[in-house]
Structure 1
């Protein structure tokens, strides 16, 4: 990665979770965190965020850990404030609204105020650690107001923000409690980034509808005396590194056991954190419909759904965990045979290498969220495939990844029968078509890796240039290859 920052300044990254270094000096970071850590090492930098601990008595000063060129600074959060800030406003207001789920909005005034109060506390702890030439990069929905709080404390640094989840149209976004305060918080940044042009356009619409700013150039807006930029920066993966991991994983014990247990059956795989945005319920319904509609595949396929538990302290997630487990059990009980379990559903995390090997083994990858900012599982599935005999990606048209991976079979996850037909089509797809689709997607992954995303954002933030359009936006393949239709 080239050095986009000035020689005298550091990069300062702020995120809710901080991947602290292990005792051997290494970090357990993966994926996105690896790219951020590499950028911090390149420039010398500070990674600031929540310690992962909730306490009854909070120390005002963060705990500092030095690890080579990176300083890690983490802050505890008061137990009550955490419930209001994280369990409350962040995950019961921002998360559902940004995923277009107005029906799941549940938040009260105390939770709203707790969210802003924690952001103020974090700003007050961070401000003394900043140098005048530092470049600040704040990540995700937990810290939208953080720049405004830093400005209030006199911070004049360049500050960028990246939202890792979708941003909805103004009619939906305006349902957020304290919507005006949140929008004003965004305008304190110098650069606001999203995964897709659609999300960036939705955000521009919100600004214009609320008369919070007016365009003054390509991707640039002015609010009062402050100008800031809006851009789309689709996050990528290190495709070649993941491909190498997948090849090496063929010797992994978990992968070997899975292959042996499959006998001659073909594997269909889905991997998602337990969340209502991932469309797991609808996916199981589609798979069940596929089995009922295609009896020739009975006892010939196995669907593995890997779903680690998530946010178990939020009531909606507890209920969802039970509902999906019951649904998978019902499908197995009604569709299975003495010697065949149609769905293998597990609620635990699988190691990075084993997961890569399972992707490589699968003939079909089911990535069908109801709404997703990007979805890196889709990209990892493609990167893991054997180029000589690749599997087929079935991808929701509501995932940000569809703008780059449009050689997948794109589906509407709410349409059970069409998604079921796409599964059958994927399993019957000729080898040459599978190879063609895979090559198109792999080329795009290689052209927009994780380092490209990181450097591209920082270049715009530090130079003040207008964001360039996402590299693959609009380069769709023909509709014959792009859209999944029912056979015949």
Structure 2
């Protein structure tokens, strides 16, 4: 059996056999490594004064990890720069925030070359290589240049933008061509897949075949849609754990009979948090009878503090929360509880279960697993309502049960909140069951198997 070599920006392999803090992606990839053997390779998260290619190997809970340190300049240009100030905003349709600097692009390529130089000696002849996400588009091409003939796959965890947006990137064609170094490329949704096909066909001159193969200059890549899920069984168990039950009781007690609306998002402009606050404000304005009967709990742990646009969104949200609370709060009620810290997943499960409404309203998301976690955490006898942006990748799978909205419309959001608060138990059960059927069937293990089986198929492979 072929070994699996997973490469990602950061390594999230388990620290010990009892590690319970991993996210769904880490759980799925760790399970794949235990099944196939192999190595999870990536950046350690640490910096060094001088890059020397030293690899730190560890083995925990049956998973071998291999990490390297990067220089401060690498971090500034590759990670904070090209990855998160150029690609991230562009791929989330925010060309107004994208910064195009040659130094960023140069640092991005330099770090990918360093990854290729360092990991290449670890790859054996029969290994299968699976590279994750936008930090490493050119890594496959770098490995090919270094003589790697192995089967190689790439999965993109964020949207692939429409061709006219992507063409605002100076080196868009060169970046897209690097995808043809892989044998299989995966996207969360059919929409992102079709956007890639459209760019490949119209801007690169590639041929898109009916079987999913895309051919360019004699090289073929299989492009598939494979929406990632959560570990539904594990999350349901977590929602019934002592920690979750305690969190549930604490939230219910603090609500003192009021309905809770919950939002849980990394502090990021793609999550539509200021639009969410404005939509909630419209709800309070239009429905005075609902005031003091409901509150919004927004959990938003900070991220990427070294990027200016992330500093601005935090300042904006603090200002909005203060203004709304100042306008509507009373001595015994605050309409928004705004929290800038993260919580363990089992505690979050209890918080989700206590919420009458889960408000998941990104302006654009590759998938959004919070939507699925909220549904999985619900009481099967009395579930809450998911209000979901139609621009989240998860909307394609959960449209049968979620209340879908345009997150840019404060009126739609306000109407959906009223609908959720007034929805009867029978309808809530019907919607919840429809979403759970998908969440339990197309879970994170299904996603991992769908991709690795395509990658390891005898019908695909390097020329």
Judge which range, 15-24 or 394-403, deviates more. 15-24
Partner of 2:79: 86
How far the C-alpha of 1:81 sits from its partner, in A, is: 1.5
Alignment of 1:233-312 (within 5 A): 233-249=226-242, 252-312=245-305
Q: Name the counterpart of 2:33.
A: 40
Query: Are 2:450 and 1:420 aligned?
Result: no
Instruction: Answer yes or no: is the 8 Å Cα contact 2:279–2:414 preserved in 1.
Output: yes
Q: Is the 8 A contact 1:112 1:177 kept in 2?
A: no
Which one of 116, 138, 160 corresponds to residue 109 of structure 2? Answer: 116
TM-score normalised by the chain length of structure 2: 0.96
Structure 1 partner of 2:225: 232
Which of these residues, 172, 177, 182, is aligned with residue 189 of structure 1? Answer: 182
Q: Indicate the residue corresponding to 1:145 in structure 2.
A: 138
Q: Secondary structure at the match of 1:136?
A: strand
SS at match of 2:240: helix
8 Å CA contact retained: 1:19, 1:27: no
**Offset, 1:94:** 0.5
Give the superposed CA RMSD: 1.5
Number of residue equivalences = 459
Relative to structure 1, is the Cα distance of residues 348 and 300 closer, same or farther in structure 2, using a 3 angstrom cutoff? same
For residues 375 and 13 of structure 2, what CA distance do their matches in structure 1 show? 30
- TM-superposed deviation, 1:68: 6.1
Once the 2 structures are TM-superposed, how far is the Cα of residue 217 of structure 1 from its aligned partner? 4.1
Q: Does 1:205 align with 2:198?
A: yes
Structure 1 match to 2:404: 410
1:433 to 2:427 alignment: yes
Unaligned regions of 5+ residues in structure 2, if any?
none
Q: Which residue of 1 aligns with 2:208?
A: 215
Mapped partners of 1:251, 1:217: distance in 2: 47
Residue 461 (1) aligns with residue 455 (2): yes
User: Mean alpha-carbon deviation: is it higher for 63-72 or for 163-172?
Assistant: 63-72
Change (3 A) 1:389 1:309: same
The match for 1:64 among 44, 52, 57 is 57
**TM-score (norm: length of structure 1):** 0.91
Alignment counterpart, residue 42 of structure 2, candidates 24, 36, 49:
49
CA distance in 1, matches of 2:459, 2:391: 30
1:385 aligns with 2:394: no
Where 2:358 maps in the other structure, the secondary structure is strand
| CA gap 1:418/1:40 in 2 versus in 1, 3 angstroms | same
The alignment status of 1:105 with 2:98, answered yes or no, reads yes
Provide the residue aligned with 2:22 in structure 1: 29
SS, match of residue 423 in structure 1? helix
Contact 1:332/1:342 (<8 A) preserved: yes
Alignment gaps of 5+ in structure 1: 1-6, 467-488
